[in-house]
């Protein structure tokens, strides 16, 4: 093809490209009206607190003018000694910026706990009708560190613009969103993007249930709203990943609505408490117990004297629903139970030994978590090899139980684990004590082998209740067919 022919085809290519891209461009949203209408309800939050900063030890410098109070150098040395001498700490004022938004016209403002935590002074700056800033002293009504939410109150002289919290059940991955905030102190910065994902856990906190977005979020955006195209707040912008770009996290409006209403009413958060140790139900565990799907929360331990024990929940139960709401995993169970009022009665749908039952539990109030004890070592009694599992077992005797810190002389001691075996892949270790197999107590190798043959080989998996270093846990062995 000649150069002239190529020049002739170029305008045709440009025309075709333009015609094919115009419909796609026409579908892009225009955020102009949304930013203009929502902007006045977004506030700038500035905080100030006094912190003590330690100083490295400095050499002592004598004040040669101490006896001459008229000398200006005497004041200099006094100031030097006050702030720097001998590593004495000195006070400093720390300032920070964040965002928030007005949720009621009488001056209630939602933001993040970390924006205002420990602040001695909180200023809220809002736009007036003329686009100028008004500054108000803010009072903290209540905070919740676990969900990183806070409720503030200002006394304005006028009725304030507000933003409405959206129904989070309608939020979908891929929908357009708009973030408004004050990144790096740049007031009312507007960025757009989409909902990237739902249900993100970024810190191994069971209360984490973040919305992920690619709308630009930076330091100073914390506490600001993430809006849908109707101008409703679907989440509060909260966190970023320092090593990533275009990845931000926000607290869903469903959580915000629940926590903020509780803070407004009670000024504190009271959470329901069950009194169990739980873990997720993985596919291997579901297979071992005869469940069709790997869902729910498996009860690994029931704390005596707590609501679960009083209601009759047992170790090995799998909680499938609470008050009719499906429980996907252990974290969701914690969130559901915590959202319920202490003292209220909840209905738990439980899978127990091939049957589904209902258990009613009067919930307690969540306070603190139990701590596990330190590890100890044991000795080696008589061994029995189970070669197909790569496992060596021995009955537990009094001496070994005492060495392991176990009160009841029950179970089977694992004395050896073969490398790259079924037992090794199940993360079992020498020194573990097997208490149950498929929720049935085992005190002899014969009992263990019977469950292996009648249930384990049939289902292709076995669930073991194990004591390791005085801590109860569950491990699932996937059997090779």
Active-site residues, by number, are: 114, 148, 222
Q: Which of 345, 357, 301, 350 is nearest to 327 (CA)?
A: 350
Q: How far apart are the first and last CA of the chain?
A: 65
**Secondary structure element (H or E) that encloses residue 143, with its range:** strand 139-144
Number of neighbouring beta carbons within 10 Å of residue 243: 6
Strand, coil or helix: 213: strand
Distance between CA atoms of residues 386 and 103, nearest Å: 65
Q: Is 64 exposed, middle or buried (0-12, 13-18, 19+ CB in 10 A)?
A: exposed
Number of neighbouring beta carbons within 10 Å of residue 360: 10
Q: Which of 443, 480, 457, 330 is nearest to 465 (CA)?
A: 443
Distances (CA, A) of 19 to 5, 12, 26, 68: 22, 11, 11, 87
Q: Any long-range contacts for 171-175 (C-beta under 8 Å, 24+ apart)?
A: 171/195, 171/198, 171/211, 171/228, 171/234, 171/252, 171/253, 173/197, 173/198, 175/228, 175/229
Give the alpha-carbon dihedral of 12, 17, 19, 25, to 10 degrees.
-160
Q: Which of 480, 475, 459 is nearest to 414 (CA)?
A: 475
**Secondary structure element (H or E) that encloses residue 7, with its range:** helix 3-26
Distance between CA atoms of residues 45 and 393, nearest Å: 63
Can you list the alpha helix ranges (DSSP code H) found in 316-365? 330-339
Beta strands in 5-41 (DSSP E): none
Distance between alpha carbon 124 and the CA centroid of its chain, in Å? 28
Distance between CA atoms of residues 18 and 26, nearest Å: 12
> What number of CA atoms fall less than 13 Å from residue 26's CA on the CB side?
6
């Amino acid at each position: 093809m000649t150069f002239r022919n190529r020049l002739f085809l170029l305008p045709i290519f440009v025309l075709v490209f333009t015609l094919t891209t115009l419909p796609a461009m026409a579908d892009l949203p225009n955020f102009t009206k949304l930013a203009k209408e929502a902007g006045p309800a977004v506030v700038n939050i500035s905080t100030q607190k006094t912190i003590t900063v330690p100083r490295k030890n400095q050499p002592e410098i004598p004040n040669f003018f101490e006896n001459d109070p008229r000398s200006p150098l005497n004041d200099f040395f006094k100031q030097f000694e006050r702030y720097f001498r001998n590593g004495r700490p000195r006070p400093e004022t720390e300032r920070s910026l964040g965002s928030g938004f007005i949720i009621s016209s009488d001056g209630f403002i939602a933001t993040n706990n970390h924006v205002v935590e420990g602040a001695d002074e909180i200023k809220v700056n809002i736009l007036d009708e003329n686009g100028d800033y008004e500054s108000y002293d803010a009072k903290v009504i209540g905070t919740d560190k676990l969900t990183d939410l806070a409720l503030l109150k200002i006394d304005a002289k006028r009725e304030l613009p507000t933003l409405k919290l959206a129904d989070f059940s309608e939020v979908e991955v891929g929908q357009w969103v708009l973030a408004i905030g004050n990144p790096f102190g740049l007031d009312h910065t507007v960025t757009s993007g989409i909902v990237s994902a739902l249900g993100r856990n970024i810190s191994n906190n069971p209360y984490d249930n973040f919305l992920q977005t690619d709308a630009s979020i930076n330091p100073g955006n914390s506490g600001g709203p993430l809006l849908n195209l109707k101008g409703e707040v679907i989440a509060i912008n909260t966190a970023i990943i320092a090593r990533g770009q275009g990845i931000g996290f926000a607290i869903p409006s469903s959580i915000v609505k629940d926590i903020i209403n509780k803070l407004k009413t009670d000024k504190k958060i009271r959470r329901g408490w069950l009194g169990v140790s739980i873990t997720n139900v993985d596919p291997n565990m579901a297979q071992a117990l005869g469940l069709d799907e790997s869902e729910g929360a498996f009860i690994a331990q029931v704390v005596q004297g707590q609501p679960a024990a009083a209601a009759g929940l047992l170790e090995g139960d799998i909680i499938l629903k609470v008050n009719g709401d499906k429980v996907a995993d252990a974290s969701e169970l914690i969130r559901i139970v915590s959202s319920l009022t202490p003292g209220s009665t909840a209905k738990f749908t439980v899978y127990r030994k091939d049957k589904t039952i209902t258990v009613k539990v009067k919930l307690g109030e969540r306070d603190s978590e139990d701590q596990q004890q330190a590890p100890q070592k044991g000795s080696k009694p008589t061994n029995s090899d189970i070669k197909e599992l790569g496992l060596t077992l021995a009955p537990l005797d009094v001496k070994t139980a005492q060495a392991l810190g176990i009160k009841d002389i029950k179970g089977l001691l694992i004395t050896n684990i073969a490398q790259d075996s079924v037992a090794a892949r199940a993360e079992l270790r020498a020194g573990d004590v097997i208490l149950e197999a498929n929720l049935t107590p085992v005190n002899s190798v014969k009992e263990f082998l019977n469950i292996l043959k009648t249930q384990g080989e049939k289902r292709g998996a076995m669930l073991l209740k194990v004591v390791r270093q005085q801590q109860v846990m569950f491990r699932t062995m996937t059997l090779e067919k």
